[in-house]
Amino acid sequence: MRLLPLALSLACLLAACQPASRPPKKAADAVPPQTAAAAPAFAFEEATVADLQARMAAGQLTSHALVQAYLDRIAAIDAAGPALRAVIERNPDALKEADALDAERKAGKVRGPLHGIPVLLKDNIDAVPMANSAGSLALAEHHPKTDAFLVAQLRAAGAVILGKTNLSEWANFRSTRSTSGWSGRGGQTRNPYALDRNPCGSSAGTGTAIAANLATVGIGTETDGSIICPSAVAGLVGLKPTVGLVSRSGIIPISISQDTAGPMTRSVADAAVLLTAIAAADPKDPASAERPASLPTDYTAYLKADALKGARIGVVRKLMGYQPDTDAAMERAIATLKAAGATVVDADIPTLGQWDQDELTVLLYEFKDGLNRYLADSHAPYSSLAALIAFNKAHAAQEMPYFGQELFEQAQAKGPLTDPAYRTARDRIRRLAGPEGIDAALKAQQLDALVAPAMSPAWPTDPINGDHFIGAGYGAAAVARYPSLTVPMGDVHGLPVGIVFIGTAWSEPRLIALGYAFEQASKARTPPRFLPSVVLPDAR
């Protein structure tokens, strides 16, 4: 998802030149009926990678049994029951992949901590044999011939690709009045904590799925907020890496400047395991050339419960003040940081908000260029942004029943990436958000990281008026191309809220250490209960 601070709306990523003559599949309903069905008991509720790996190592569990259990869980509460609509497609080969990995384990070969572990991927990531659609009916039959680079990394690490998750269509870069978590192909994903609330996006399906224990871990993508926001409102850990740490090859793009994929998990430890598997240099991704010579090969080495002792943390209070209950949760989080040994001071990002309009300009230019390249290179059914615009117009009843394609049309009107207006805006936003923004704030008081509330509590889903964003804390890191990590810090009337840790480029090890120490001190995550709505106190 791509959230613009400018209008506090939008979201992140995707693809298509063939006449729009083929009738599309019927679009899914916008909002399912507001009735909740109790979720059945689940044997692997809140299970971590380490828990499951230990059971498989002891011969108490097979990958086949684990995959089957998650598939049954998806059928019971995603397709039926509460009808979360988080999973857009299941991998038909998942059990076959699990069997092959079980055979390897029996033969004495274990690839690592992800061996046999089921992973869900956002539906803008190429993964054979499934479609990669960005939630659009135009690409519902688009089946890439090869895996994305990061998917190949996951398979090499022994992960089982369980399926693909729903998302805000085109990673929420289609309309200025969109509804997060809705796509023409997948319908409306629901927040598992209160089914009438929004899951945020654009990695909506991954957030809901992992929160609801539909897989062990998941992968989301972000341009500006698309990992952090859905993770925060689903009580998850979400890690948005430095651009260049994780490959973007085989991912439907929004922005070559800001796009990245990253872990969405129920614990910091699982995020570290997943990042270790997917962080690798990719010769096809130009951002890989920016990687430092020495990067960690194992991010789990930084899971240190005492990491907050002696740390200096800066609270960006200008990113607070938009919701009093969120502020109260943040103050409790600050107290937890101090009790764990951190020095906490108020901090200021001096350039905050100065990049908003330029960021939109950059994304519009880069979306057109990157999407056209992806569509052509992957031999998609539609080979250009212009063809997708025409498809949406021809099938408006299915694709645009609630909101339009203003961003598509604005991007189509942009010129090439050689335009001086684009280059000037790109260079300015990186400088303002990075060296003159986050780096300046860190250096001013010798800070290890900045913190802020990641996001407000989830808002009611409203397909008529669109999203109701009121504040967020992750935008500077997204524009600077720096890492950010959200960790659950509590709830507001049963709706999760997260704290976001922000650092300079390539500071994932430090953020993981700080986030893990905070997680162990706070123990703030609670599983969802699939309530029909928020239960508010009687104010009479």
**Beta strand 187-188 pairing with 217-222:** unpaired
Q: Residue 242 sits in which domain range?
A: 49-522
Angle, helices 63-73/94-106, rounded to nearest 10 degrees: 160
Cβ-proximal residues to 300 (8 Å cutoff; 6+ apart), any chain: 113, 269, 272, 273, 276
| Catalytic site positions | 122, 202, 226
Residues 6+ apart with CB under 8 A from 540: none
CA-to-CA separations, 28 to 24, 25, 264, 363, 437, in angstroms, rounded? 12, 9, 25, 28, 42
* DSSP assignment letter at 287: G
Helices and strands, counts by H and E, the chain: 16, 13
Tell me the pTM: 0.94
* 260 neighbors 298 (Cβ within 8 angstroms): no
Average pLDDT, the chain: 93
For the domain that residue 106 is a member of, what is the CATH number? Answer: 3.90.1300.10
- Whether 36 is covered by a domain: the verdict is no
pLDDT digits (tens, 9 = 90+) for 397-424: 999 999 999 999 999 999 999 999 999 9
Q: How many domains does the chain have?
A: 1
Structure-derived torsion over alpha carbons of residues 112, 118, 122, 128, reported in degrees to the nearest 10: 80
Tell how strand 449-453 and strand 217-222 pair up: unpaired
Q: What is the pLDDT of residue 37?
A: 52
Two structure tokens written together for 68: 């089957």
Q: Would residue 343 count as lying in a domain?
A: yes
Domain assignment of residue 537, yes or no: no
Residue 411 lies in a domain: yes
Query: Looking at the domain assignment, is residue 5 inside a domain?
Result: no
- pLDDT score at 15: 28
In sequence order, the 6+-apart residues with CB closer than 8 A to the CB of 413 are none
Model confidence over 157-175: pLDDT tens digits?
999 999 999 999 999 999 9
Tokens of 235: 């009580």
Q: What CA–CA distances, in Å, run from 59 to 52, 67, 190, 425, 443?
A: 11, 16, 36, 57, 51
Q: Are 532 and 34 in contact (CB under 8 A)?
A: yes
Report if residue 4 sits inside a domain: no
In one-letter notation, the amino acid at residue 391 is F
Angle 268-278/49-57 helices, nearest 10 degrees? Answer: 80
Q: Mean pLDDT, to the nearest integer, of 463-480?
A: 96
User: Would you say 181 and 171 are in contact if contact means Cβ atoms under 8 Å apart?
Assistant: no
d(CA 224, CA 10): 9
The pLDDT value recorded for residue 5 is: 38
pLDDT tens readout for residues 36-46:
456 789 999 99
127-144 pLDDT, tens digit per residue, is: 999 999 999 999 999 999
Q: Apex CA 227: angle with CA 68 and CA 241, to 5°?
A: 105
Q: Check whether the bond before 453 is cis (ω within 30° of 0).
A: no
Say if CB 372 and CB 411 are below 8 A apart.
Answer: no
How many C-beta atoms surround the C-beta of residue 41 within 10 A? Answer: 6
The distance from CA 335 to its chain's CA centroid, rounded to whole angstroms, is 28
Which token pair is 440? 């300046």
Q: Is residue 3 part of a domain?
A: no
CA dist 251 and 247 (Å) reads 9
Q: pLDDT of 492-517, one tens digit each?
A: 999 999 999 999 999 999 999 999 99
Residue 460 has pLDDT above 80, yes or no: yes
Residue 29: the pLDDT is 45
Residue 410's identity, in one-letter code, is: Q
Q: How far apart are CA 479 and CA 352, in angstroms?
A: 11
Residue 118 lies in a domain: yes
pLDDT-derived band of residue 212, with 50, 70 and 90 as boundaries?
very high
What are phi and psi for residue 521, nearest 5 degrees? -80, -30
Exposure of 50 in the CB half-sphere (CA atoms within 13 A): 9
Residue 54 identity: A
